[in-house]
Structure 1
Amino acid sequence: MLRQYELVERVLDYDPDADEALLNRAYVYTVQKHGSQKRASGDPYFSHPVEVAGLMTDLQLDQATIITALLHDTVEDTLATIEDIEANFGPEVARLVDGVTKLSKIEAMPENERAAENLRKFLLAMSEDIRVLLVKLADRLHNMRTLHFIKNPEKRQRIARETMDIYAPLAERVGMYEYMREMQALAFEQLEPEAAATITKRLEGLRGSDGGQVDAIALKIKQALAEAGLKVEVSGREKHPYSIWTKMSERHVSFEQVTDIMAFRVITESEADIYSAMGVLHRTWQFLPGKFKDYISTPKSNGYRSIHTSLMYENSMRVEVQIRTREMHQRNEFGLASHWAYKQHDKADGQVAWLRDLIEIVDASHDAEELLEHTRLAIYQDRIFAFTPKGALFQLPKGASAVDFAFAVHTDLGLSCLGAKINGRHMPLRTPLQNGDVVEIIKGAGAEPQLSWLSFVVTGKARAAIRRSVRQKERAEVAQLGSQLFDEIAARVPARIGKKAIRAAIERLGLDGPEDLMVAVGSAKLTDREVMEALVPGCTADLEDDDGWSPRDRAISIKGMTPGVGFKLADCCHPVPGDRIVGLRRPGEAVLVHTIDCLELANGVDTDWLDLSWGKRSHGAIGRLSVTIYDRPGTLAEMAGLFAQNKSNVTSLSQSQLDHPFVTYDIDAEVQDLAHLARILSALRASDAVAQADRL
């Protein structure tokens, strides 16, 4: 553990103007407050904040951050308060300590809820000052170094999993690769102890049998570059066990089949020397196509810059080489911390621009599970690069679609996305983007996100925004349905219902406003009796349990509502406009629409039945048909042509029966209404290619 004078001297070495007295006071304060508290290792508790402060001095951070590290556990684990901190160390330190403290008050929550709430507070706090994140990452790193002292294996596993899922990815996103690698290694030992031990043993065996091969290869690389007149430093190492395990898992190969276990780093004096060194290496040894990455011309979103290449060394050995300047190396290992990037946060520097997306995800996520899903997508995926037509660069996860790109450019662009051109060609929105693609998003005035987009978008920002938009639309349509039902309920009350009565009812029901009331009625969260009683207390006393509830006085119109959002069309009977329809309504679910003669209605005895009408304007729907054709060349094409002639698009076709000389298909086709469906059936039945056609 660092002694008081050692810590202060470390700070003064890189910041001679630091307040020595304040640093001393903070050290003494944390020792006094934590007193006789012990850690699981048996060490005094104050050794932990002191070590965290030591990690911050390694990054040469300012004195406010060092003091925050010293005090970060005092409010949570001692009698100290934020007011005490402010009185003794000033408002800046108090704000930072409060930001770190908020992340730690949730250990009693259930696991998913705890992780989500931790993440929510974490993101909000670090968006205000990135130093909160730096202290928290150092706090987690030191806790991981002492994790083996915790006796409860379940607790060790939980902490390791949280580290692997949240803190290591966040360290990577701010470019703190040293922290990320060590966190991953320590978590890996807890989560996969057998695999970690096996790979470590294999690496030790490899190290013992290769006769110093890593050093020999590093020397060869340095000699080749020196002969070309380049002054460089070269270091080599085996890759970490977790990195090897990841490659084994992704490629489904054994340890012996992982060929690029060795990695080498070349440090040059200038950026121009980087490309010269790369040329020398590619001329000296065979370059592996597809393994070259230029993160200098296109840096990672965390500011990481380097050249990565893979070479085929002697005896068919693959080695990875990273080439960078010393300044790049310092930045790459410690990211935002190495340049005190928190000072530029207000400038919306690209290095921390991803924080804005994360905060937007926090606002858009509906619950704990969604928040975790969206945020993990946002912080823990390999990246590709795509460009706007004007040359603006955007980094996206592998597998990202044009919709993900649209939301990356701007949320409003994603919400109004109608189509896309990729490299000048119109392409489906679900098309996965490739490195270097130029993407032009086509907007539409009436365009809106589709629920089906969730099946292919991969970014947390896009998923959160789409879900939020769909939820808002669903809420509006449920409120529209509820408004019609409310009018019927109000008509059965023995009094005239005005705004005053509605406000009183909302208050009695504990709701926030008129829209909440309509949503509760539309989603069957309130019964007719409950609404009537709230409007006019006592008016239902003389009613029987089922008196006056059904049938409804008039059909409820679903005109203007969207199938799949405000209501759902039942798959069993596939109702289309023109069919006589009824709706089954269960609390919290969308109304399920059936035809009046559907056999499945027998299963709806425990639900609220609604008499529905399509309204004057047709919605369009999917009609399902069974068509039997003669099994000979050309008949399938003739049948398809009949759908086209009648302006119907076939969305699904599957063979249900083969009974030579006949073959039967189940077909889903877009139809405007019942009359349109009848015309299609008539055309099919009149064809010589068709033996039979019926609606299913």
Structure 2
Amino acid sequence: MIDIDDLIALVRNYNPGCDEALLHRAYDYAQGMHQGQKRHSGEPYFTHPVAVAAILTEMRLDDATIATALLHDTIEDTKSTYPEIARLFGDEIAELVDGVTKLTNLQLSSSEAKQAENFRKLLIAMSRDLRVILVKLADRLHNMRTIKSMRPEKQAQKARETMDIYAPLAGRMGMQWMREELEDLAFRVLNPEGRSSIIRRFITLQRETGDVVHKITADIRAELEKNGIQADVYGRAKKPYSVWRKMREKELSFSRLSDIYGFRVICDAEADCYRILGVIHQRWRSVPGRFKDYISQPKSNGYRSLHTTVSGRDGKRVEVQIRTREMHEVAEAGVAAHWAYRDGERVVNRFAVDPAKWITTLTDRFDNGEDHDEFLEHVKLEMYSDQVFCFTPKGDVVQLPRGATPLDFAYAIHTRIGDSCVSAKVDGLRVPLWTRLKNGQSVEIITAEGQRPQATWIDIVVTGRAKAAIRRSLREEDRERFIRLGRELARVAFEHVGRKATDKALGTAARQLGLRSRDELLARLGSAEITARRVIETLYPELSSVEGEEVDVHRPVVGLPPDQSFQRANCCQPVPGERIVGITYRGKGIVAHTIDCPVLAEFEDQPDRWIDLRWHDGRHPAAHTVSIDLTISNDAGVLGRICTLIGEQRANISDLKFMDRKPDYYRLIIEVDLRDVEHLHTVMTALEAESDVAQLSRYRDPGRKP
């Protein structure tokens, strides 16, 4: 644990005139209050607030924030009170400690109305004093660094909360380094094998190609020296989570992924940024569509930089960021740049922008909002998206996520304006409602009485506010008429395929389509938002043939050594389409498990037995057996109908075992031969819609050995 003298030394490094007496008092008081308390790891609890304070010294923050970090858990976890903190340390620190305490008590991962209200409190706290959020982010960062001592289910909850809320919040406030570390720490908990796989592939790539980062960094430095430009060049491989997210978004394998390396050039003057860009583009071929100028059009959090992607050494794509030292300070510190000290003086950085304006605008806009889904969706869009700024005809600024349309603009002004919008003018010219707005454009909305939102508008708008308003309007208008019409459409469609539109079948279809109830499904059917064909295909999809050669059933995976045999694990029964990992067994070759199979925990300490596998692309034969646990009514003909239903989905029953027989029901395990995970989903959806099926699940037995 850092003692008080070391902590003060860290503060004095950037603020020689710090209030040492205040820090001493805060340290001693908090240590006394937490006396005897332990963390999950068994360490004294006081090690945590001290570590949080040390993290904040890296951001060069003021004395009040450092003292708040030391005291931030005293009101919540000890007998200390707000009046006592105010008496001993002053109102400013007491307010900050109280703000952190209130944020700690928020259940940000709870649902619906409660989550919306807690988001409001979070944003309001940010608008009052951003240092509260800085302490809370540092608190979360240290908790994530030490999360292994918590129970597994608690780790998962905290990691999801970090990934959904705290990491994007740090990024939105310009603290990219903290966002990346929070994401990586959460990724380590939520998908340890995915992270390990990325790291292993980086190691393999480095072994095959050498130190690419060092080589490309040297190439850039050489080009700059040749042109007489003084600048620092840094390079690194991107974080595992960043690579993983890019693989998922672009649906690419690691080997096909480009620009997994990032390079940064830091210079002295803004003019040098553009000179450096020219040198890089002259030396290497730029990738079309991958250049962004955040110097002439900064992000709303003050971020400024030039971004370009070029084909570097050996044709590898690399991303290069070019910025001045002042810009780099803001890029690294984000909002913390407002509170930073250097040599005892507050740092004045002309590029620093106060994101509190964004937070205040957001809280004002939704202060009276009644739609919780609208509020949450908009908050998350605001956290993740870049922004565009457009003007009303009167010159008022409207801030929207990048990619927003005139319809988003209309709903941002008022729901009534959006509902009655018929067209728009951008910079005086009439444009379609799906036009993507750009920074600085003037937008005029044209309305008409009697106009109502169209179902197609959902696909045009991007903001949560607009989507929620359109959905609400479409649902409310003639809802009962749409439900009656939808029921008739469903009846006809089901009869056409020899089925009945029972309440259970419609309820199953509603769940599969992500709708709240059967009536909502019928209303959307009647309003043409969903087609009857889509409902039928959801429950009883026609299995279309897949072009291409059939995958060899004996070697259906990629990654097998030539001399190794392969089999599926009996415990989890993986099928094509599911993420898998191979484990080597003596005398059995390689056995494939699903990535979430609990049996894998037995091999955590044996990394040499893990093999990176994936299923072959293409059409797999229906030869992969899966066990389905089924409870059905004990009536004449029910079992025959179930077997017929499975056969209609072109699946073969290879075995059937009765587990329990009662006067009113049977429980049985059916072994079904399937092609892939989509085939499994089709079979289970069809069974779930059947009236005589009481319970249904995939049967997995960790005790069944490979």
User: Residue 304 of structure 2 contacts residue 327 of structure 2 at CA under 8 Å; is this kept in 1?
Assistant: yes
Q: Give 1:243-642 correspondences, 5 Å limit.
A: 243-340=242-339, 351-360=355-364, 362-366=366-370, 369-383=373-387, 396-406=400-410, 419-422=423-426, 424-429=428-433, 431-433=434-436, 435=438, 438-444=441-447, 450=453, 456-462=460-466, 565=476, 568=479, 570-571=481-482
CA contact under 8 A between 1:360 and 1:461: conserved in structure 2? Answer: no
2:498 counterpart residue number: none
Q: Distance in 2 between matches of 1:6 and 1:227?
A: 45
Tell me, in whole angstroms, the C-alpha distance in 1 between the residues paired with 2:454 and 2:100. 37
Distance 1:391 1:175 in 2: 28
Partner SS, residue 332 of structure 1? helix
Question: Following the alignment from structure 1 to structure 2, what is the Cα–Cα distance between the partners of residues 33 and 225?
Answer: 56
Q: Look up the match of 2:94.
A: 94
Measure, in 2, the Cα distance between the counterparts of 1:390 and 1:41: 59
Instruction: Tell me the alpha carbon deviations over residues 415-460 of structure 1, each in whole angstroms, 9 at most, x when there is no partner.
Output: 885531246542343x051556835222549699848555643224
Once residues 180 and 483 of structure 2 are traced to their aligned partners in structure 1, the CA distance between those partners, rounded to angstroms, is 53
- Alpha-carbon distance change, 233 to 566 in structure 1, aligned in 2, over 3 angstroms: closer
Cα deviation digits, residues 36-67 of structure 1 (max 9, x gap): 11111222111111111111111111111111
Q: Is the 1:361–1:374 Cα contact (8 Å) retained in structure 2?
A: no
Range 93-102 or range 447-456, more displaced: 447-456
> TM-score when scaled to structure 2?
0.62
8 Å CA contact 2:59–2:340 kept in 1: the answer is: no
Which shifted more, 3-12 or 44-53?
3-12
CA contact (8 A) 2:163 2:182 kept: yes
Q: Please give the secondary structure, in 2, of the residue aligned with 1:458.
A: coil
Question: In 1, distance between residues paired with 2:167 and 2:87?
Answer: 34
SS in 2 for 1:237: strand
Is residue 2:22 matched to residue 1:22? Answer: yes
Shift of 1:360: 3.3
| Shift, 1:113, TM fit | 6.3
RCO higher in structure (CA 8 A, sep ≥6): 2
Amino acid at match of 1:38: K
Contact 1:115 1:162 in 2 (8 A): no
Asked whether the 8 Å contact 1:218–1:236 carries over to 2, the reply is yes
Corresponding residue SS for 1:438: coil
- The amino acid of 1:441's aligned partner reads E
Q: In structure 1, what is the equivalent of residue 173 of structure 2?
A: 174
- Of the structure 1 ranges 443-452 and 181-190, higher mean CA displacement relative to structure 2 is found in 443-452
CA drift at 1:279 = 0.5
- Which residue does 2:75 correspond to in 1? 75
Greater CA deviation, 7-16 or 252-261? 7-16
| 8 Å Cα contact 1:364-1:464 kept in structure 2 | no
Corresponding residue for residue 4 of structure 2: 4
CA distance in 2, matches of 1:108, 1:322: 34
Q: Secondary structure at the match of 1:363?
A: coil
Distance 1:225 1:164 in 2: 38
Contact 2:302 2:353 in 1 (8 A): no
Structure with larger Rg: 1
**Pair 1:139 & 2:50 matched:** no
Q: Which residue of 2 aligns with 1:496?
A: none
Listed one character per residue, the Cα deviations across residues 266-323 of structure 1 (whole Å, up to 9, x for unaligned) are: 0111110000000111111111110000000001111110000011113221111000
The whole-number CA distance in structure 1 between the counterparts of 2:373 and 2:393 is: 36
- Report how far residue 117 of structure 1 moved: 4.5
Amino acid across the alignment from 2:258: T
Superposition deviation, residue 368 in structure 1: 5.3
Shift of 1:391: 9.4
Distance, in Å, in 1 between the alignment partners of 2:108 and 2:311 is 53
1:87 maps to a residue whose letter is: R
Offset from partner CA, 1:601-656 (integer Å, 9 cap, x none):
xx9xxxxxxxxxxxxxxxxxxxxxxxxxxxxxxxxxxxxxxxxxxxxxxx99x999
SS of residue paired to 2:53:
helix
1:353 aligned counterpart, secondary structure? helix
Structure 2 regions of 5+ residues with no counterpart?
486-502, 504-527, 534-706
Q: Which amino acid aligns with 1:257?
A: R
Change (3 A) 1:258 1:364: farther
- Equivalents in 1 of 2:355, 2:298: separation in Å? 10
- Contact 1:411-1:465 at 8 Å conserved across structures: yes
The SS at the match of 1:571 is helix
Equivalent-residue separation in structure 2 for 1:322 and 1:9 (angstroms):
34
Contact 1:306/1:323 (<8 A) preserved: yes
1:386 deviates by 5.9
CA RMSD of aligned residues (A): 3.6
Paired residue for 1:35?
35
Task: Map 1:112-261 to 2 at 5 A.
Answer: 115-150=115-150, 152-261=151-260
- State the alpha-carbon separation in 2 of the partners of residues 457 and 356 from structure 1: 24
Q: Distance in 2 between matches of 1:461 and 1:415?
A: 12
C-alpha displacement of 1:349: 5.8
User: Residues 174 and 302 of structure 1 are in contact (CA less than 8 Å); yes or no, is this contact kept in structure 2?
Assistant: yes
Quote the Cα distance in structure 2 between the aligned partners of 1:228 and 1:410.
54
Structure 1 residues 280 and 368: alpha-carbon distance in aligned structure 2, compared to 1, 3 A threshold: same
Superposition deviation, residue 198 in structure 1: 0.2
Name the CA shift for 1:107/1:461 in 2 (closer, same or farther; >3 Å). Answer: closer
Return the alpha-carbon distance in structure 2 between the equivalents of residues 265 and 108 of structure 1.
35
The structure-2 alpha-carbon separation of the partners of 1:417 and 1:52, relative to structure 1 and needing over 3 Å to count, comes to: farther
Q: Distance in 1 between matches of 2:439 and 2:196?
A: 40
SS in 1 for 2:441: strand
Does the 8 Å CA contact 1:331/1:339 hold for their aligned counterparts?
Answer: no
Q: Structure 2 vs 1, CA of residues 449 and 136 (structure 1 numbering), >3 Å: closer, same or farther?
A: farther
| Closer/same/farther in 2, CA of residues 207 and 382 from structure 1, 3 Å limit | farther
Q: Which moved more, 1:141-150 or 1:103-112?
A: 103-112
Distance 1:206 1:434 in 2: 41
| Unpaired segments ≥5 residues, structure 1 | 472-562, 575-602, 604-650, 657-696
Cα pair 2:184 2:241 within 8 Å, conserved? yes
2:212 and 2:75 map into 1 onto residues whose CA distance is 52
Change (3 A) 1:571 1:394: closer
Alpha-carbon distance, 1:238 to partner: 0.6
**Are the structure 2 counterparts of residues 209 and 101 from structure 1 closer, same or farther at C-alpha, using a change threshold of 3 Å?**
same
Query: 1:327-356: per-residue Cα shift (whole Å, max 9, x none)?
Result: 111110110102329999xxx966332212
